[in-house]
């Protein structure tokens, strides 16, 4: 297992389009976290999921953003009707237990034009 | 306002020099982590400190957690160009063990 896999690495969307970001956690990790990083800033928590469950979405905007972690397949962060302010690096992390042993992926850099 | 303040924001030093970066808060954290992030990559965990006053060493890097668990420092001895990167501290508040609260980072450049 090469670690937490995120794709695509780079994503360009026009305003109003949808962005889908994928994250495959490390093998054996059932806890997934999404963070957003704006230029020259630290990461901000968005959402925490376990398989088929959203545990905490307090950091995710209530409109246009959604996340899922289905029983089979990767976790998906979906942003509908993107705006320029959504441009950022989105990082996924996974862990084997809640809050322990975080491993981050390389991120998806979303650019909205 | 940032819950975790890191200083300095930028640091440019010559190879072989020592440096310290700081991570400060008015909040008490149950644990604190330090990460290094290189351009185009995700953060990589360097260390986790849990106990107030704890000191951990990782080769030339020394991490300290304040006695009151509100602050931390990272000291690098004899810095090398390979140490160049963005150093992030991230704290965990007691009521949500999974949510990392990141500082805005210290960008370090070590010149050969």
A97 pLDDT tier (thresholds 50, 70, 90): confident
A100 pLDDT tier (thresholds 50, 70, 90): confident
Question: What tens digit of pLDDT does each residue of B84-96 get?
Answer: 999 999 999 876 7
Query: Which residues of A2-112 form beta strands (DSSP E)?
Result: 5-7, 10-13, 19-24, 31-37, 43-50, 53-56, 65-68, 75-79, 88-95, 103-104, 108-112
> Per DSSP, what are the bridge partners of residue A58?
none
Q: Of B96 and A87, which is predicted with more confidence?
A: A87
CB environment A2-34: b (16+ within 10 A), e (fewer): eebbbeeeebebeeeeebebbbbbbeebebbbb
Task: Judge: B97–A103 Cβ closer than 8 Å, yes or no.
Answer: no
Q: Of A39 and A91, which is predicted with more confidence?
A: A91
Give me the residue from A48, A56, A106 closest to B41, CB to CB.
A106
Query: What's the confidence (pLDDT) of residue B1?
Result: 60
Question: What tens digit of pLDDT does each residue of A11-49 get?
Answer: 999 999 999 999 999 998 999 999 999 877 789 999 999
Does residue A15 belong to the interface with chain B, where contact is any CB pair within 8 Å?
no
Q: Of B29 and A99, which is predicted with more confidence?
A: B29
Residues recorded for chain A: 113
Q: How far apart are CA A43 and CA B3, in angstroms?
A: 12
A42 near A104, Cβ under 8 Å? no
Beta sheet of A75-79, edge-to-edge order = A5-7, A19-24, A75-79, A65-68
pLDDT > 90? residue B70: yes
Task: Judge: B43–A56 Cβ closer than 8 Å, yes or no.
Answer: no
Question: What tens digit of pLDDT does each residue of B29-67 get?
Answer: 999 999 999 988 999 999 999 999 999 999 999 999 999
Give me the residue from B44, B99, B105 closest to A42, CB to CB.
B105
Task: Judge: A45–B92 Cβ closer than 8 Å, yes or no.
Answer: no
A46 near A61, Cβ under 8 Å? no
Q: Of A13 and A102, which is predicted with more confidence?
A: A13
A1 pLDDT tier (thresholds 50, 70, 90): very low
């Amino acid at each position: 297992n090469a670690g937490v896999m995120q794709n695509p690495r780079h994503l360009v969307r026009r305003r109003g389009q949808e962005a889908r970001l994928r994250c495959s956690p490390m093998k054996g990790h059932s806890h997934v976290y999404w963070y957003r990083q704006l230029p020259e800033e630290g990461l901000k928590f968005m959402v925490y999921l376990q398989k088929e469950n959203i545990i905490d979405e307090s950091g995710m905007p209530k409109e246009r953003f959604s996340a899922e972690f289905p029983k089979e397949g990767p976790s998906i962060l979906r942003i509908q009707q993107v705006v320029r302010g959504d441009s950022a690096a989105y990082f996924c992390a996974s862990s084997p237990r809640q809050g322990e042993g975080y491993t981050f992926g390389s991120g998806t850099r979303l650019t909205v034009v | 306002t940032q819950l975790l303040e890191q200083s300095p924001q930028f640091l440019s030093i010559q190879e072989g020099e020592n440096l310290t970066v700081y991570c400060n808060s008015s909040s008490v954290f149950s644990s604190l982590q330090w990460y290094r992030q290189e351009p185009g990559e995700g953060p990589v965990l360097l260390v986790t400190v849990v106990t107030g006053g704890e000191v951990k060493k990782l080769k030339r890097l020394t991490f300290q957690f304040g006695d009151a668990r509100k602050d931390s420092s990272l000291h690098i001895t004899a810095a090398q160009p390979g140490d160049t990167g963005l150093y992030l501290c991230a704290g965990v508040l007691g009521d949500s063990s999974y949510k990392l609260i990141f500082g805005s980072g210290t960008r370090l450049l070590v010149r050969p």
